[in-house]
Amino acid sequence: MASLLLAVIYLSFISLGLPDALLGAAWPTMSQDLGAPVSWAGGISMTISAATICSALMSDRMTMRFGAGRVTAASVSLTAAALMGFSFAPNYWTLVALAVPYGLGAGGVDAALNNYVAIHYESRHMSWLHCMWGVGALTGPYVMGYALSGGQGWPWGYRYIGFIQIALTAVIVVSLPLWKARVAGADSVASAVDDSAASGASERKPLGLRGVVAIPGAREILLMFLCYCAIESTCMLWGASYMVMGHGIGKASAASWISLFFIGITVGRALSGFLTMRLADHEMIRLGQALILAGIVVMMLPLPNHLGVFAGLTVVGLGCAPVYPCIIHSTPAYFGEENSQAIVGVQMACAYIGSMLMPPLFGLIAQYVTIDLFPWYLLVFLALMVWMHESLRRKRA
Q: What is the pLDDT of residues 288-330, one digit of tens each?
A: 999 999 999 999 988 877 888 889 999 999 999 899 888 888 8
- pLDDT of 276 reads 85
169 and 235 housed in the same domain:
no
Tell me, yes or no, whether 384 lies in a domain: yes
pLDDT greater at residue 289 or residue 352: 289
Tell me, yes or no, whether 202 lies in a domain: no
Indicate whether 231 pLDDT > 90.
yes
261 and 313 housed in the same domain:
yes
Q: Where is mean pLDDT largest: 106-115, 156-165, 169-178?
A: 156-165
Mean pLDDT of 184-213: 51
- How many structural domains comprise the chain? 2
Tell me, yes or no, whether 98 lies in a domain: yes
Cα separation, 159 vs 87, whole angstroms: 6
3-class SS of residue 388: helix
- pLDDT of 205 reads 63
Mean pLDDT of 190-196: 41
Q: Calculate the alpha carbon distances from 348 to 53, 229, 275 in Å.
A: 7, 10, 25
- pLDDT of 181 reads 59
219 and 166 housed in the same domain:
no
* Total residue length of the chain: 397
Tell me, yes or no, whether 192 lies in a domain: no
Cα separation, 24 vs 21, whole angstroms: 6
| Domain CATH for 95 | 1.20.1250.20
* Short-list 292, 275, 343, CA closest to 128: 275
Tell me, yes or no, whether 205 lies in a domain: no
Q: Where is mean pLDDT largest: 62-71, 182-191, 364-373?
A: 364-373
Q: Which of 135, 158, 181 is the last residue of a domain?
A: 181
What band does 191 get if pLDDT is binned at 50, 70 and 90?
Answer: very low
Using left for φ > 0, alpha for ψ between -120 and 50, and beta otherwise, residue 190 falls in: beta
Q: Which of the residue ranges 203-217, 240-254, 256-270, 371-385 would you say has the lowest mean pLDDT?
A: 203-217
pLDDT greater at residue 83 or residue 248: 83
3-class SS of residue 188: strand
Q: Which of 181, 202, 223 is the last residue of a domain?
A: 181
- Asked whether 344 and 111 are in contact (CB, 8 A), the reply is yes
CA atoms within 13 A on the CB side of 213: 7
Tell me, yes or no, whether 196 lies in a domain: no
Give this prediction's pTM: 0.75
118 and 240 housed in the same domain:
no
7 and 68 housed in the same domain:
yes
Mean pLDDT of 272-284: 88
7 and 153 housed in the same domain:
yes
Q: Which of 166, 181, 196 is the last residue of a domain?
A: 181
260 and 350 housed in the same domain:
yes
100 and 248 housed in the same domain:
no
Indicate whether 199 pLDDT > 60.
no
| Domain residue limits at 305 | 215-390
24 and 172 housed in the same domain:
yes
Share of the chain above pLDDT 70, in %: 88
234 and 296 housed in the same domain:
yes
Indicate whether 194 pLDDT > 60.
no
246 and 363 housed in the same domain:
yes
Tell me, yes or no, whether 397 lies in a domain: no
378 and 250 housed in the same domain:
yes
Tell me, yes or no, whether 199 lies in a domain: no
